[in-house]
Amino acid sequence: MNNRDHLLSQMIQLDNRLRDLFTRNFEHVLQDYAEMTSRESILLDLLHRHKKMTISEIAENFSITASAASQLVKKMEQSHYLKREINLNNRREIFVSLDHKGMKFNRDLDDFHLSIYNKYYAVLSEKDIELLISLNKKILEYGLKIQQTENTDEA
């Protein structure tokens, strides 16, 4: 194993240990949403970031049929996590957005993330945090570039 592989292996181990540590803290948040599947929580996160999406956009994000996406939305709508609205510019199109329980879920998640960062990243100076942000941006930009190349190759 060369030095780079050794360093990457250390990163993976540390990442796993941090994830375990954060997950233990996350269990109290999960208790309130025990009935929710991972796909449902991902959809709530998507809608939190995009504000509203169509059924086709949801289907595309999950690589499922529009019918399956519609069933997912219907289930979450009945539980007041999501709501549907007709697009006034195109009455055949329906927008999906967060309902009051979906908004509460995302507020709880945001509060949790902030508490984790305040608790565990307190050891970092502002300069360290700026460096971490810079490194994460670099990794994200490279990852998006790779993804775009892969999507272009598939087409």
Which range of residues forms the domain containing residue 1? 1-31
Distance of CA 71 to the CA centre of its chain: 21
* Number of domains composing the chain: 2
What's this model's pTM, rounded to 2 decimal places? 0.72
DSSP character at residue 101: H
Can you spell out the DSSP letters for 78-115?
Answer: HTTSEEEEE-TT-TT-EEEEE-HHHHHHHHHHHHHHHH
Do 54 and 76 share a structural domain?
Answer: yes
Question: Do residues 87 and 42 both lie within one domain?
Answer: yes
CA gap 117, 82 in Å, rounded: 28
71 with 24, same domain: the answer is no
Q: What pLDDT score does 30 carry? A: 67
What average pLDDT values come out for the chain (155 residues) when binned by 10 residues? 89 90 73 81 94 93 93 95 91 92 92 86 92 94 89 71
CATH of the domain at 84: 1.10.10.10
41 shares its domain with 93: yes
